[in-house]
Amino acid sequence: MSLIDESQIRVILLDIEGTTTPVDFVYRTLFPYATRKLESFLRAHSQDPEIHSLVQDLRSQHDLDERDGLEPPGWLDNTEEARLRSSVAYGQWLIVRDSKCTSLKSLQGKIWQQGFASRELRGEVFPDVPVAFERWQRQKRTICMYSSGSVLAQQLLFRTTTSGDLTPYISAFFDTHVGAKTEGGSYKKIAASLSYAPHRFLFISDAVKEIEGALSVGMQAILCVRGPGDAPPHGQDQAIHSFDNVLPD
Ligand SMILES: [Mg+2]
């Protein structure tokens, strides 16, 4: 922390995956949940026009994948049951491939939203995170998130953690609507939207390219390396491993 001018810092801006939350939360928890719930979700919403149109979009994507020689599972439309089974098999196939297909992403988002609402899904944060939030709030510092996950997904995650609802600590959530996390311009926009000069921010992330983006517009920034055995990348010996020593009392 020696390169950080702590007295200047008014806003702590945090990356989520790999920083506040285990990097594999999405792969270990969210994706398997969507895979498991896809069939029951589609059955429960078979009369919902919005879901119906998402399934039609899936069908079009399926044709494209077939044409591109990707060999997706077969698709039958002869009965409603056959169409449902086809969309489930294809959707699960897409999830395994970490597809960015928009209709799949929408379906996944809706399934996760239900899962968080019913508390079957809970957000996950490292144990030092709630402790640090409490400390930084006591110091009258502002806490904000910046993640490539949608603002809605970020809010669901922090609302449902096993440490309780952490959203009251968080003043703002930013996603890629402000721009890519590697672009300096994104950090400039965030600073402007909170009406603080960039050097009043401390950005924390596990991605060197994001740290560079923040530094390039004059934010203070520090790399977070969470894995117990993970060494920081070469030249990044300032890295932190938890929030415990970030702006201590
Ligand atoms: Mg990250």
201-205 sheet: strands from edge to edge: 170-174, 142-146, 11-14, 201-205, 220-223
CA 233–ligand 1 middle distance (angstroms): 15
Q: Answer with the one of 88, 117, 146 that is the final residue of a domain.
A: 117
CA 194–ligand 1 middle distance (angstroms): 22
Contact 107, 91 (CB under 8 A): yes
Report the phi/psi class of residue 227: left, alpha or beta, with left for phi > 0 and alpha for psi in -120 to 50: beta
Contact 219, 13 (CB under 8 A): yes
CA 35–ligand 1 middle distance (angstroms): 24
Residues measured by CB to lie within 5 Å of ligand 1, the ion: 15, 17-18, 206
CA 37–ligand 1 middle distance (angstroms): 27
Task: Tell which residue, 249, 240, 221, has the closest CA to residue 146.
Answer: 221
| CATH code at position 75 | 1.10.720
Q: Answer with the one of 90, 117, 144 that is the final residue of a domain.
A: 117
Same domain, yes or no, for 15 and 129?
A: yes
DSSP letters spanning 196-214:
--GGGEEEEES-HHHHHHH
| Domain interval for residue 171 | 6-21+123-223
Same domain, yes or no, for 37 and 152?
A: no
Q: Answer with the one of 117, 139, 161 that is the final residue of a domain.
A: 117
Give 191-245 pLDDT, tens digit per residue: 999 999 999 999 999 999 999 999 999 999 999 999 766 666 666 667 999 999 9
Does residue 239 sit within a domain? no
Longest Cα–Cα distance of the chain, Å, equals: 68
CA 125–ligand 1 middle distance (angstroms): 13
Q: Which two tokens stand for residue 157?
A: 């995650």
Query: What pLDDT score does 98 carry?
Result: 83
Query: What pLDDT score does 1 carry?
Result: 45
CA 48–ligand 1 middle distance (angstroms): 35
> What is the model's pTM?
0.82
Q: Which two tokens stand for residue 78?
A: 């002869």
CA 20–ligand 1 middle distance (angstroms): 9
CA 146–ligand 1 middle distance (angstroms): 9
Query: What pLDDT score does 227 carry?
Result: 78
> Residue ranges of the chain with pLDDT lower than 70?
1-2, 228-237
Does residue 103 sit within a domain? yes
Query: What pLDDT score does 228 carry?
Result: 67
CA angle, 152 as apex, 150 and 154 as ends, to 5°? 70
Query: What pLDDT score does 237 carry?
Result: 65
Query: How far apart, in whole angstroms, are the C-alpha atoms of residue 158 and residue 166?
Result: 5
Query: What pLDDT score does 160 carry?
Result: 95
* Alpha helix segments (H runs only) across the chain: 25, 31-44, 49-67, 80-96, 102-117, 128-138, 151-159, 184-194, 208-216
Same domain, yes or no, for 13 and 39?
A: no
CA 11–ligand 1 middle distance (angstroms): 18
Same domain, yes or no, for 130 and 195?
A: yes
